[in-house]
């Protein structure tokens, strides 16, 4: 087994692909702004619908709910699960910065190692960036979240 | 002639193909001799695109080194030689499928060939082509019939044609095992049917459709038959006259030729009555500022500068296939196909689509691995140097009908050994354990 493949499919990714945190669309808390996005990876049919809710109080905007429904490969499903854990209760703009950070790592073709301090469990996806064909899988939920937040505005 | 070259390593043989012969054949394919991710390449994606033997690569290079020029224009020597090579290539490819030279139109690929037919019908339907094209007119109430197993290339162009003309789009459904519901075909194909379009061999299921039965149903109602021959012409003997189809389409890159070349077969009387699709230079007789008159088939459908080197290379590929023998290739690939299905059937958690072991199938198998997405299966196999196709294989409706989103497909060709199949099977057996699926 090559180390690249093991790096791609780290245990944490395989676990999240089965746990699927945040799977199953839930109603947003009353009074919060809600946005939804549907994303498709046409090459393999990976599909996700992501719903995000933002709670506003005293000028702060906090993610009060992230839920999703989808089907796809272990990378795309694990990525959605990790994003759910990472983004919940985070400040909206902070989360958007994280999405940018994650995108930069994913597009680096293996040249940038993710900072675990910043990306947490999402750092486990560093190995994906060596497989350009799989970057879309890892990004699917994150791009959906960006869209959902735009829609929630 | 330049396009006719018999590779030195290929000894004409009359017995069935065996692994020893395949190993000789492989010497003609430089790309196969390499390591991928530290393992010898096992190429099992010929259903998507095939590899080129040295003689095909040389035919294309020889054309550019010796006789490159614009065809069907200019009186200089190179122009004549280029035209000869281009038209000889047409004769070779046409005769390969039992057609005459004026019944074979060059296209970029099968997708373009099918689009060409649909736009010819479309143009006829808005009055282009005059009286002789009236038989191609589609109106509301007319029906276009396809099957539920079609590749998007033989599905979407017909959907679009129906939208443009107001014709009704219908399809013959498939059973749970993917086979056509022939008992329902008679209710789908009826007096209103004008076109019946279907695939000869399924790129997903590996099954071969009963062309004769469907042609007869179409003939009874006076409908035209369009055959998607992408997975048949490269792999088994195909005679379009014996099949009695009106049109057929196939792609060069699936039969040892480069990308960018494909062909449309059409009965001469039909092609000569059809209005053109693409228009412009080369395909005309007299042009005024108000009007243009068109050449007969095949030139009528070949506007602009053509894919000359690719046509020459496709003819070289056809010669290579003929030298090896299509019956023999078909038999070998059936053998590999059965080995695939039997082997996959012995691995836990694998569901093979299409015909069961022992039933007729071409040399490919698509399958679902319980608990592991096809993309992950493909990634695991690639790590071992095994190239397969993953996804919906451009047949989303068929996958949806079978309750799947994506599958993994292994597809063979004349250069695959039984060792290739065995290496693949051994790797597939490790997939579920690797992903922790029990």
Ranges A30-44, B127-141, B327-341: which has the least confidence: A30-44
Range A103-124 average pLDDT: 93
pLDDT score of B344 more than 90? yes
Domain span holding position A107: 3-152
> In chain A, what residues touch B38 (CB-CB under 8 Å)?
2
Interface test with B, best of A13, A16, A44, A78 (most B CBs within 10 A): A44
> In chain A, what residues touch B391 (CB-CB under 8 Å)?
43-45
CATH class of B19-53+325-434: alpha beta
> In chain B, what residues touch A45 (CB-CB under 8 Å)?
391-392, 396, 399, 405-406
Residues B297-329 pLDDT 10s: 999 999 999 999 999 999 999 999 999 999 999
> Contact B180/B131 with Cβ under 8 angstroms?
no
Of the candidates B38, B391, B436, which has its C-beta nearest A45's C-beta?
B391
**B210 Cβ contact partners less than 8 Å away, ≥ 6 residues apart:** B180, B182
H or E segment to which residue B284 belongs: strand B284-287
Q: Kindly state the percentage of chain B with pLDDT values over 70.
A: 97
- Asked if A7 has any chain B CB less than 8 Å from its own CB, the reply is no
pLDDT score of B268 more than 60? yes
For β-strands B143-147 and B168-172, DSSP reports them as parallel
Residue B210 CB-density burial (10 A; 0-12 exposed, 13-18 middle, 19+ buried): middle
**Which listed residue (B22, B362, B394, B414) is catalytic?**
B394
Greater confidence (B11 vs B376) lies with B376
A7 confidence band (pLDDT: 50, 70, 90) = confident
Of the candidates B373, B405, B406, which has its C-beta nearest A74's C-beta?
B373
> In chain B, what residues touch A72 (CB-CB under 8 Å)?
373, 375, 405
CB atoms A5 and B375 under 8 Å: no
What CATH number did the domain enclosing A110 receive? 3.90.1010.10
> What does the domain layout of chain B look like in residue ranges?
19-53+325-434, 61-322
CB atoms A45 and B434 under 8 Å: no
B1 confidence band (pLDDT: 50, 70, 90) = very low
CB atoms B376 and A47 under 8 Å: no
What pLDDT score does B12 carry? 57
Buried b (16+ CB within 10 A) or exposed e, B98-109: ebebbbbbbbbb
- Asked if A125 has any chain B CB less than 8 Å from its own CB, the reply is no
For every residue of A54-65, DSSP letters joined together read EEEETTEEEEEE
Task: Tell me how many domains chain A contains.
Answer: 1
> Contact B207/B353 with Cβ under 8 angstroms?
no
pLDDT score of A59 more than 90? no
Average pLDDT, chain B: 96
Residues B209-223 pLDDT 10s: 999 999 999 999 999
Query: To the nearest whole angstrom, how far is the Cα of B396 from the nearest Cα of chain A?
Result: 9
pLDDT score of A1 more than 50? no
pLDDT score of B232 more than 60? yes
> In chain B, what residues touch A47 (CB-CB under 8 Å)?
405
CA B415 – CA B21 distance, rounded (Å):
9
Range B114-141 average pLDDT: 97
A4 confidence band (pLDDT: 50, 70, 90) = confident
Buried b (16+ CB within 10 A) or exposed e, A25-58: eeebeeebbbbbbebebeebbbbbbbbbbbbeee
- Asked if A84 has any chain B CB less than 8 Å from its own CB, the reply is no
3-state secondary structure of B223: coil
- Asked if A3 has any chain B CB less than 8 Å from its own CB, the reply is no
3-state secondary structure of A69: strand
CB atoms B391 and A43 under 8 Å: yes
Buried b (16+ CB within 10 A) or exposed e, B376-404: bbbbbbbbbbbbbbbbbbbbbbbbebbeb
Average pLDDT, chain A: 93
pLDDT score of B13 more than 90? no
CB atoms B383 and A2 under 8 Å: yes
Range B265-271 average pLDDT: 98
pLDDT score of A46 more than 90? no
| Two tokens, residue B356 | 């069961």
Catalytic residue check, B230: no
CATH architecture for segment(s) B61-322: 3-Layer(aba) Sandwich (3.40)
Range B234-253 average pLDDT: 98
Query: To the nearest whole angstrom, how far is the Cα of B373 from the nearest Cα of chain A?
Result: 5
Range B129-157 average pLDDT: 97
Ranges A109-118, B62-71, B170-179, B336-345: which has the least confidence: A109-118
What pLDDT score does A153 carry? 81
CB atoms A45 and B392 under 8 Å: yes
């Amino acid at each position: 087994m090559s180390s690249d493949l093991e790096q791609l499919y780290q245990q944490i990714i395989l676990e999240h692909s089965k746990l699927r945190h945040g799977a199953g669309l839930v109603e947003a808390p009353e009074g919060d702004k809600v946005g939804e996005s549907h994303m498709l990876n046409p090459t393999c049919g990976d599909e996700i619908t992501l719903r995000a809710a933002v709670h506003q109080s005293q000028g702060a905007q906090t993610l009060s709910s992230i839920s999703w429904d989808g089907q796809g490969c272990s990378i795309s499903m694990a990525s959605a699960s990790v994003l759910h854990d990472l983004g919940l209760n985070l400040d909206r703009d902070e989360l958007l910065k994280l999405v940018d950070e994650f995108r930069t790592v994913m597009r680096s073709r293996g040249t940038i190692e993710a900072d675990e301090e910043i990306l947490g469990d999402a750092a486990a996806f560093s190995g994906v960036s060596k497989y350009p064909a799989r970057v879309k899988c890892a990004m699917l939920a994150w791009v959906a979240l960006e869209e959902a937040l735009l829609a929630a505005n | 002639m330049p396009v006719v070259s018999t590779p030195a390593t290929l000894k004409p043989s009359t017995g069935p193909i065996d692994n020893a012969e395949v190993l000789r054949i492989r010497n003609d394919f430089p790309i196969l001799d390499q390591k991928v991710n530290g393992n010898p390449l096992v190429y099992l994606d010929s259903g998507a695109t095939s590899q080129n033997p040295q003689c095909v690569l040389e035919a294309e290079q020889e054309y550019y080194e010796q006789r490159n020029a614009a065809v069907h224009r200019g009186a200089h020597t190179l122009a004549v030689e280029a035209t000869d090579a281009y038209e000889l290539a047409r004769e070779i490819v046409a005769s390969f499928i039992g057609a005459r030279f004026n019944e074979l139109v060059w296209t970029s690929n099968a997708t373009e060939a099918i689009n060409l037919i649909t736009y010819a019908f479309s143009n006829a339907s808005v009055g282009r082509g005059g009286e002789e094209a009236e038989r191609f007119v589609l109106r509301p109430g007319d029906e276009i019939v396809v099957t539920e197993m079609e590749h998007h290339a033989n599905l979407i162009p017909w959907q679009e044609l129906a939208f443009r003309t107001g014709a009704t789009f219908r399809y013959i459904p498939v059973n749970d095992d993917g086979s056509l519901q022939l008992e329902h075909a008679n209710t789908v194909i009826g007096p209103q049917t004008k076109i019946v379009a279907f695939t000869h061999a399924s790129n997903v299921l590996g099954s071969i459709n009963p062309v004769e039965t469907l042609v007869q149903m179409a003939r009874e109602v006076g409908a035209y038959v369009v055959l998607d021959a992408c997975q048949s012409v490269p792999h088994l003997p195909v005679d379009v006259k014996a099949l009695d189809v009106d049109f057929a389409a196939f792609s060069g890159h699936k039969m040892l030729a480069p990308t960018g070349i494909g062909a449309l077969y059409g009965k001469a009387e039909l092609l000569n009555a059809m209005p053109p699709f693409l228009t412009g230079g080369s395909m005309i007789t007299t042009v005024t500022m108000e009007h243009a008159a068109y050449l007969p088939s095949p030139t009528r459908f070949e506007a602009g500068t053509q894919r000359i080197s690719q046509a020459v290379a496709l003819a070289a590929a056809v010669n290579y296939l003929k030298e090896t023998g299509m019956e023999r290739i078909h038999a070998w690939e059936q053998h590999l196909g059965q080995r695939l299905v039997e082997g996959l059937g012995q691995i836990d958690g694998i569901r093979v689509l299409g015909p069961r072991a022992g039933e007729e199938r071409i040399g490919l198998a698509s399958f679902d691995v319980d608990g592991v997405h096809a993309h992950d299966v493909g990634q695991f196999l690639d790590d071992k140097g095994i190239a397969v196709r993953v996804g919906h294989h451009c047949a989303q409706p068929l996958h949806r009908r079978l309750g799947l989103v994506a599958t993994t497909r292994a597809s063979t060709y004349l250069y695959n050994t039984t060792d290739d199949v065995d290496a693949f099977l051994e790797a597939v057996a490790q997939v579920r354990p690797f992903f922790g699926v029990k």
